[in-house]
Amino acid sequence: MLALNPKTYERLVRPLLFALPPERAQAVAEFALKRPAIWRALSPALKARAGGPCVKLAGLSLANPVGLAAGYDKNCELLPSLAALGFGYITGGTVTVLPQPGNPKPRVFRYPREESLINALGFPSRGLEFVADHLARGRAGCGEVPVVVSVSGVSVDAIVRCHRRLEPLADAIEINVSSPNTAGLRAFQESAALSELLQEVNRDRSKPLFVKLPPYANERTARDGVVGLARACVDNDAGALTIANTRPYRDPRLAVGSGGLSGRLLLEDTLRMVADISAEFAGSVPINACGGISTGDDALRALDAGAATVQLLTGLIYRGPGVAKQINRELAVLRHGGR
C-alpha cells in the first residue's frame, strides 16, 4: 500500500525495476497490471479526493485533468487496472492494422538523472483485431474513466480502418501522426496530407477525435509546420490537440541509432509549445499538454499556459502508480491551499 506513494515507490520499488533492462521492467509492471482485481481494490487509495471541478474535454467529462499518454498499454490489455490509478482519462495504443514486431532491440534506455527515457520501439502492436477484442472486454472495467485509443498507420486507408473499427469501442480516438520512429508517418506531417486524412476520417465519425502533433524540432516540424498541422486539425473539427510526441534524439546504444526522447528534459519545450499554439488559436481548440509532466507544479504550469489537460507516460515509470493522485493533490494545494 505504502509503495503507492511516489516517495516510497522511488525508494523501494523503482530501484528493483531499474535494476532490469527497461523492456524487462515494463514486462514486470504489465504482469502486475494484468490483475485488475488487485488494482480495483487499491483504487480508493489511488484516487484523488472527489470534489475537484469536473473537466470538460471535447464533450467528455473527466474527474481530473491528468491523463495517461499513449504507449504504456500498446494493446489495450491493461485498461481496467490503469483506470484504477486515478487518471482523468487513459489512452491505449498506438494500434496498427496488422500485428508487427516494432524495431530491433535494444530500443529503450533510461536517463535516470534527468528522469527521462529514449525509445525507438517503432509501434510493436498485436494488431487491430487483437486490440478490438481486448477493448470490447476491458472497457466496462474502466467505469467512468474515459478511454481514448491511439491509432496510426502509413496510409490514409490504414488509419481510417483503425478509426472505424475502434471508435465504437472507445470514448475518443487519438490519431498519432508524430512518432519519430516510423518514417512513413512523415507523410502526415504536411498540412494538406493531414487535412485529407482528417476529411476521410470525418466521413464516418461520431466521437471526439484528438490529433497528436510532433514537437517543434527539425525543418519539417519547425514551428510554422506544426502550426500548419494544428490549423488543419482545427479546420477539420478535431476535438483536441495533443502537444506533443517525443523529441527526435540520437543515442548510439539503440539498435536503430535514434529514437524519441521523453520525460523531464521535454518539460520547458512542452510549456512553450502549449503557450504558443494556445495563443495562435486563441484557445479555440483544447490542448492536451504532453511531455515531461510529473508533478503538480508541472501540471499547473501547463494548464496556466493554456492546456485543458495534461498527459504523461515517463512520469508513471519514474514516480509509480500513485503519480496521478499525487499530481492532483499537489494541484489542489497549489490552487486552493488544499481546501
| Contacts with ligand FMN, residue ranges (CB under 6 A) | 69-71, 74, 94, 108, 117, 119, 121, 150, 176, 179, 212, 245-246, 262-263, 266, 290-293, 312-315
**Closest CB to ligand FMN among residues 14, 212:** 212
Q: Considering the complex, what minimum distance in angstroms separates the CB of residue 165 from ligand FMN?
A: 17
The stretches of 236-310 forming alpha helices (DSSP H) are 267-280, 296-304
**Options 179, 195, 262, 294, the catalytic residue:** 179
Nearest residue to ligand FMN, by Cβ distance, number only? 71
How far apart are the C-alpha atoms of 70 and 189, rounded to whole Å? 19
- 179 catalytic? Reply is yes
Contact in structure between 75 and 123 (CB atoms under 8 Å): no
- Largest distance between two CA atoms of the chain: 51
Q: Considering the complex, what minimum distance in angstroms separates the CB of residue 61 from ligand FMN?
A: 23
**Closest CB to ligand FMN among residues 172, 290:** 290
> What is the CA 241 to chain-centroid distance, rounded?
12
Burial 219-243 (b: 16+ CB within 10 A, else e): eebeeebbbbbbbbbbebebbbbbb
Q: Considering the complex, what minimum distance in angstroms separates the CB of residue 200 from ligand FMN?
A: 20
Q: Considering the complex, what minimum distance in angstroms separates the CB of residue 87 from ligand FMN?
A: 12
**Closest CB to ligand FMN among residues 37, 129:** 129
**Closest CB to ligand FMN among residues 101, 338:** 101
With vertex at residue 286, the alpha carbon angle to CA 63 and CA 138, rounded to the nearest 5 degrees, is 45
- Among the listed residues 170, 169, 171, 151, the one whose alpha carbon sits nearest the alpha carbon of residue 161: 151
Contact in structure between 270 and 281 (CB atoms under 8 Å): no
Q: Considering the complex, what minimum distance in angstroms separates the CB of residue 215 from ligand FMN?
A: 9
C-beta neighbour count of 190 within 10 angstroms: 16
**Closest CB to ligand FMN among residues 71, 80:** 71
Q: DSSP letter string over 164-203?
A: HHHGGGSSEEEEE---TT-GGGGGGSSHHHHHHHHHHHHT
Provide φ and ψ at 89, rounded to 5°: -160, 160
Q: Considering the complex, what minimum distance in angstroms separates the CB of residue 270 from ligand FMN?
A: 8
**Closest CB to ligand FMN among residues 80, 291:** 291
- Among the listed residues 186, 235, 181, 228, the one whose alpha carbon sits nearest the alpha carbon of residue 209: 235
103: its cell numbers: 524495431
As annotated, the active-site residues are: 179
